[in-house]
Structure 1
Amino acid sequence: MQKIVVGLSGGVDSSAAAAILHHQGYEVVGLTLWLMRGKGQCCSEGMVDAAHICEQLGIPHYIVDSRDLFQTHIIDYLVEGYGAGITPLPCSQCNRAVKFGPMLGYASTELNINRIATGHYARVSYNSQCDRHQLKRAVDRTKDQSYFLYDLTQDILGAVVFPLGEVPKSETRRIAAQYNLKTADKPESQDLCLVEANGSMRAFLDKYITGKKGEIVDPEGRVLGEHDGIHHYTIGQRRGLGISAPEPLYVLSIDPGRNRVVVGDRDRMTQTECTIRRVNWVSIAPPSEPIRAEVQIRYRSKPLPVTVVPLSSEPDPQIGTRVRLIFDEPIFGITPGQAAVWYSEDLLLGGGVIERQTT
């Protein structure tokens, strides 16, 4: 009987994944990461529900204290990013640095198990022709989470199983109910875990960053208003600017050096290209020539045609491998710190972090 460690958050998706594998004949071990103190489905409540699921399935359950990792790689990462005027995407960073890698390490080192699984909606397969494990979108495109998994390494992709990759979300609920799982009717988490625990991203950031008043200006430098801290603003933001204007204004850029927020009309928010750092080529080897693909610049954005141009063959120690994305048409709201992920149909080719633009 093959052993597998399933990451359990206490939600319905990971619970159903564990149940599916258990009833397929795997020897399942539940593993929950203790990420932070406080309420929220990934913390105290989630750990209790995960323990209950393991009791229902009759499988062992381990809890690993990952709070130091979460503090370093997520909380400090977010605070530093927002303080520098960018908008980091914590989920991809968390999957790479806090969840999958450490979970596989614990499974291998402490439990002598070399397979892991989670409740993510994505698919992974091995392509012998290119000798790579390939990441694909989930069958249920409305729930596809491959965007957040672009930074996983080949070692992790070779060890991970996604039982829900072929399963519609409605079927997940049915499976959980079929096995009488406690989480079958548990509400979905609608926010980031940090938002759930703190009430809002603003409240979370205000715990770590002291707001400093500064100017809100137009692109020519004319003062239009005042802000109470640049960490309260993100590129593309329209609401909550506190400025009266004849037409809608958007945050165009954030200048931490001058402690300024620059706003302007929508036309100034479009770009025809951007650069990406810390690129991870997932399903194909790093190309030496430009390739065509479809890119998403945020989780729910529509995939758009793009040319991906490699910029360096040797990764920089600080920013890794870089590419330039050249869009077929101007794109609105490209946000430094967020992830850009490019696909060929369902195949996730690669992804990286959007750099601050110099233009």
Structure 2
Amino acid sequence: MNKVVVGLSGGVDSSVAAAILHNQGYEVVGVTLWLMKGKGQCCSEGMVDAAYICEQLAIPHHIVDSRDLFQTNIVDYLVTGYEAGITPLPCSQCNKAVKFGPMVHYSQKELGIDKIATGHYARITYDADSDRSQLRRAVDLSKDQSYFLYDLTQDLLAATIFPLGEQTKTETRRIAAEFNLKTAEKPESQDLCLIEKHGSMKGFLDQYITPQDGDIVDQNGKILGKHTGIHHYTIGQRKGLGIAAAEPLYVVGLDAVRNRVIVGDRTSSHQTECTVQRVNWVSIPEPTNPIRAEVQLRYRSQPVAVSVIPLENSRVKLVFDEPQFCITPGQAAVWYNGDILLGGGILEKQN
């Protein structure tokens, strides 16, 4: 019998992933990562619901204490980034460093099981010509989560199953109801687990960063107003600036050294190119020449045409066919060929 470890967060998606594989005849073992204390699907409430699902399916359930790993790779990573004037994307970092990598290691070393599965909406196929696993968008594009998975390596993809990749969220809810799963009607988490605990990103960050008042300036250095800490702002932000102006102003820069928030009009907020660091090539080997692709600069943004130019030290330059609005350092740039995720990395802060 095939064995698989399913990562259970206590939400409906991971519950249905476990139920589908169990129904297909897999010997399923549930594993829940204990990431942090407090409210939220990743925390105590989620662990209770995950345990209940395992009881419903009559499968074993293991809880792995990952709190130190989460603190180092996510909490400290976020705090350091915001202090430096960037807006880190914790989910992609968490997937590789806290969830997939450690879960594969635990499954193989502690349980003797080679495969893991999660409730992510994405697909994995195998390309014989390149001998590579290919990461693809989910069938339900409104729920596609491949953007957050760009940092997964070939080893991790080869060990992973995404049971929900070929179905819609509506089908997931229907299957949960059919199996009478406790989580069938559980609402989706709308925020990061950190935000759920602290109420907002500002509330979370203020636990770790002492707010320091500073100036809001235009691109010529003229003081337009005051701020309560650069970590309260992000590139592209328009609301909450507290500045009266003839035209809308946006945050276009965060100067950590001078403790300044820099604002400008929409025209000055566009860029024709940018650089990306910590690049992971996923579905294709790293190219030596420029390639054409469609890049996604935010989770909910539409892909746009781009030339991807390889640089040294796991970096690339992105040159857009059309200027892009408020590119945010610390977020992920992920490029595709159709539904195939080619690679991705972290947007660099421009000097």
Q: Who is 2:267 aligned against?
A: 267
Deviation at 1:238, TM superposition (A): 0.4
Question: Which AA in structure 2 matches 1:356?
Answer: K
1:341 matches 2:334: yes
Q: Who is 1:106 aligned against?
A: 106
Deviations 1:177-221 (A, max 9, x none): 000000000001101111111100000000000011111000000
| Whole-Å separation in 1 of the counterparts to 2:295 and 2:106 | 34
Q: Who is 1:48 aligned against?
A: 48
Deviation at 1:41, TM superposition (A): 1.3
Question: Which AA in structure 1 matches 2:334?
Answer: V
Q: Who is 1:153 aligned against?
A: 153
User: Residues 1-359 of structure 1: matches in 2 within 5 Å?
Assistant: 1-312=1-312, 315=313, 321-358=314-351
Query: Equivalent residue of 1:87, what SS?
Result: coil
Deviation at 1:89, TM superposition (A): 0.2
Question: Which AA in structure 2 matches 1:144?
Answer: D
Dislocated runs of 4+, deviation >3 Å:
none
Deviation at 1:244, TM superposition (A): 1.1
Deviation at 1:34, TM superposition (A): 0.3
Question: Which AA in structure 1 matches 2:253?
Answer: S
Question: Which AA in structure 2 matches 1:333?
Answer: C
Query: Equivalent residue of 2:177, what SS?
Result: helix
Query: Equivalent residue of 2:20, what SS?
Result: helix
Deviations 1:3-51 (A, max 9, x none): 0000000000000000000000000000000000111111000000000
Identical counterparts, % of pairs: 72
| Whole-Å separation in 2 of the counterparts to 1:207 and 1:166 | 41
| Whole-Å separation in 1 of the counterparts to 2:107 and 2:29 | 9
TM-score using structure 1 length: 0.97
Deviation at 1:98, TM superposition (A): 0.2
Q: Which runs of 5+ in 2 are unaligned?
A: none
Deviations 1:57-106 (A, max 9, x none): 00000000000000000000000000000000000000010000000000
Q: Which runs of 5+ in 1 are unaligned?
A: 316-320
Query: Equivalent residue of 2:38, what SS?
Result: coil
Query: Equivalent residue of 2:63, what SS?
Result: strand
Query: Equivalent residue of 2:5, what SS?
Result: strand
| Whole-Å separation in 1 of the counterparts to 2:326 and 2:215 | 22
| Whole-Å separation in 2 of the counterparts to 1:280 and 1:202 | 30
Query: Equivalent residue of 2:110, what SS?
Result: helix
Give the stretch that moved more between structures: 71-80 or 236-245: 236-245
